[in-house]
Structure 1
Amino acid sequence: MKSSEQPTLFGLLRHGQTRWNSLKKIQGQMDSPLTARGRSQIDQWGTTLGQWHWDRIVASDLGRVVETVEILNKKLHLPITYDTRLREQSWGRWEGLTLPHIHENFSQDLALRVAKGWGFSAPGGESRDAVRQRVQGILTEISSNFPGEKILIICHQGVIKALIYHLMNRAFLPEEDPLLQVNGFHLVALESGVFSINKLNIPRSFRS
């Protein structure tokens, strides 16, 4: 068993491209299957991620993530746990709509909501700060249960951004420069209850 005095290392990866991603549809906690491109992306990640020698996978239970994990684990062969707390931010009544439709039909409402930064939520949806709280909660719990391990977290871009933007003291406002690449891989450590960023935007082509 690994020591509780060692930091727990989390690798954060978004699911592969989905059909709705390609159509610019908001998925939130709804779902659509991976595209051929998405499956190929994840197959490549399986080779890259093997360099870190992970202990286990903890993942969102939404279908696009389950499909992603199944592809990855053909190469990684790790124990898997699915958890609802790693689901994407709920976009409420805007789930299933395209981004162009939202901009065209709800532009004023969208601008007011986006201006709230961490308080942003879609109608009937969940705030970014609520996402941050639940992801920090589950990672803290995982670290307590598996101290010092290397844990691969497969989830969603909104979940990853909520954690990392908080650690980088971002206001989550539109005038801020982009920080994360959509298909990047990120390493975050948790030691003595304190999160820290190890490395951001590791590419699929990375070789140690």
Structure 2
Amino acid sequence: MSAERTLLGLIRHAETEWNRARIIQGQEDTVLTPEGREAARGWGRSLAGRGYERIIASDLTRARDTADLVNETLRLPVAYDCRLREQDWGRWVGSTVRELRANQPGAVEYQEAMGWEFRPPGGESRVDVLERSLNALRDAAERYPGERVLVVCHTGVLMAVTHHLLAMEYLPEEGNPLQPYHLHRVAAKGGVLTLDKLNEPLA
């Protein structure tokens, strides 16, 4: 394990058409809205001068497109890692939470009360998401010791990593520590990840 400190800056992909309609995406490939594309370009301008040396992104289209748009300004090497994908939401993909609450009474609440063991039918658990996400971040830190790496991923990845590093139970009553469309910094040294800063503005 490298003894050098690597800084990983995590951001979520820009807004998609499914985000706007509040449809659960999971690992379905979806496209960015025009407003999302413009926001991503703005993030690139905001991130210029912050010292990032490369980008690693989820291989889903919405993350790849966000990375490309950010990179119009940054002009950095880009790599993709499937371990940074959104949580697999199984049979709930394509539905809204409102529809699920109406059509499957109690199902969403039951899963939410499971905390880390939340697992949509036919999908993966939050523990699964955490394990693959941490492995991806540790590997990036080992591969690029001492660098600043921008990571373009998904809400499920951001939530799993930050809840873990904050020692949270991932229950609804805890609230969400993350502000939308902000940068969240994680430091890695010797295989150990720590939170550096949450909710850094992107504008």
Same fold by TM-score greater than 0.5: yes
Partner residue in 1 for 2:186? 188
Q: Return the alpha-carbon distance in structure 2 between the equivalents of residues 52 and 174 of structure 1.
A: 34
> 1:28-51: CA deviations, max 9, x gaps?
000221111111211110011112
Q: Give the SS at the match of 1:186.
A: strand
Q: In the TM superposition, what whole-angstrom CA distance separates every residue of 1:169-193 from its partner, at most 9, and x where no partner exists? A: 1100011122001211111101122
Alignment of 1:43-62 (within 5 A): 43-62=41-60
CA distance in 2, matches of 1:71, 1:184: 16
Mapped to 2, the partners of 1:141 and 1:161 lie a distance apart of 19
Tell me the residue number matched to 2:25: 27
Q: Do residues 80 (structure 1) and 70 (structure 2) align?
A: no
CA distance in 1, matches of 2:202, 2:78: 22
What is residue 127 of structure 2 aligned with on the other side? 129
Indicate yes or no: 2:32 matched with 1:37: no
The unaligned stretches of length 5 or more in structure 1 are none
Give the unaligned 5+ runs of structure 2.
none
Could you tell me which of 128, 148, 151 is aligned with 1:150? 148
The count of aligned residue pairs is 202
CA distance in 2, matches of 1:51, 1:43: 15
Cα deviation, residue 134, structure 1: 0.4
Tell me how large the CA RMSD over aligned residues is.
1.0
For residues 28 and 135 of structure 2, what CA distance do their matches in structure 1 show? 23
1:166 is aligned to 2:164? yes
Instruction: Give 1:47-126 correspondences, 5 Å limit.
Output: 47-126=45-124
CA distance in 2, matches of 1:93, 1:44: 35
Contact 2:101–2:107 (CA<8 Å) still a contact in 1?
Answer: no
With structure 2 as the length reference, what TM-score do the two structures score? 0.96
- CA drift of 1:204 comes to 2.0
Identity %: 43
Q: Matched residues in 2 for 1:188 and 1:48: separation?
A: 19
**Structure 1 counterpart of 2:52, one-letter code:** W
Task: Name the SS of the counterpart of 2:39 in structure 1.
Answer: helix
SS in 1 for 2:137: helix
1:11-64, Cα deviation, whole Å (9 max, x unpaired): 000000000000000000002211111112111100111122211111100011
Secondary structure (helix, strand or coil) at the match of 1:175 reads helix
* Secondary structure class of the residue paired with 1:198: strand
TM-score, with normalisation over the residues of structure 1? 0.94
Report the CA distance between 1:5 and its aligned residue.
Answer: 3.1
The one-letter code matched in structure 1 to 2:64 is V
TM superposition outliers: structure 1 runs of 4+ over 2 Å: none
State how far apart, in whole Å, the 1-side matches of 2:11 and 2:57 are. Answer: 10
Aligned residue in 2 for 1:177: 175
Partner SS, residue 30 of structure 2: coil
Q: Deviations over 1:78-120 (max 9, x none)?
A: 1111111010000000001112111211231211111110000
Letter in 2 for 1:71: L
